[in-house]
Amino acid sequence: MDRFIVISGCSGGGKSTLLAELKVRGYSVVEEPGRRIVAEELRKGSTAALPWTNPAVFAERAVKMALLDRNQAKEAPGVVFFDRGLIDALAALEYVTEKPTLHNYAAERYNQHVFMTPPWPEIYKTDAERQHKFQDAVDEYERLLIAFSSLGYTVEVLPKIGVSERVDLILRSLNLETSKPST
């Protein structure tokens, strides 16, 4: 769908911060499936679907959640920005299971233009929901570049600049206004 825009890239590269700014500017946003899954597991006191204890179950849940997110986003008016999405979840599932799954969902398209946050060690932080090392995040970023490219997406790596400037760049790249959208 042309109105579904993915912001993907390196874990800890500023994706969620960009989505928060897009939301402030009035755009519809979908939070990252992985962070929601981890938060839910921690809230329940469960380890059943945590990426550091059961990465395959985590990735499978992320795929299901990303598909549900896409279906629900169809009801939102205008452009919808996704903090990660189905391609990210499928790339993770493929990596942990070593089974090809990415191309099984090739018809579930997003906008051709995908924005990637590069590795940015100066802002990378671990927390209760992000426990992996920076190098693991870099490796994931490299896999995502390959995944999106293999599906024919145009990947734009975002520069390491301020949040407002990054959002303005994204909106200009999509020929959208840099102010609040009209609904």
- Render pLDDT for 49-74 as a digit per residue (tens, 0 to 9): 887 888 898 899 999 999 999 999 99
pLDDT at 178: 61
What are the structural domains of the chain? 4-173 (3.40.50.300)
Compute the CA torsion angle 95, 100, 102, 108 (nearest 10 deg).
-140
pLDDT at 56: 92
Q: What is the mean pLDDT of residues 19-38?
A: 92
What are residue 127's DSSP bridge partners? 130
Could you report the per-residue pLDDT of 37-50, keeping only the tens digit for each?
988 888 898 888 88
Report the side by side order of strands in the sheet with 113-117.
28-30, 80-83, 4-9, 113-117, 154-157
pLDDT at 15: 87
What are residue 30's DSSP bridge partners? 82
Q: What confidence tier does 22 reach under pLDDT thresholds 50, 70, 90?
A: very high
Q: How far is CA 14 from CA 9, 24, 67, 157, in A?
A: 9, 16, 23, 12
Q: Which residues contact 159 (CB under 8 A, 6 or more apart)?
A: 166, 169
- Distance from C-alpha of 114 to C-alpha of 135, rounded to nearest angstrom: 22
Could you report the per-residue pLDDT of 132-183, keeping only the tens digit for each?
677 787 888 999 999 999 999 999 999 999 999 999 999 999 999 765 555 5
pLDDT at 12: 77
Burial of 6 (0-12, 13-18, 19+ CB in 10 A): buried
SS3 162: coil
pTM: 0.88
DSSP assigned state of 130: B
pLDDT at 47: 82
90, 93, 66, 64: which is closest to 80 by C-alpha?
A: 66
Could you report the per-residue pLDDT of 79-136, keeping only the tens digit for each?
999 999 999 999 999 999 999 998 888 888 999 999 999 876 665 566 556 556 777 8
pLDDT at 175: 92
> Is beta strand 80-83 parallel, antiparallel or unpaired with respect to 154-157?
unpaired
pLDDT at 123: 59
Crossing angle (nearest 10°) for helices 86-97 and 134-150:
110
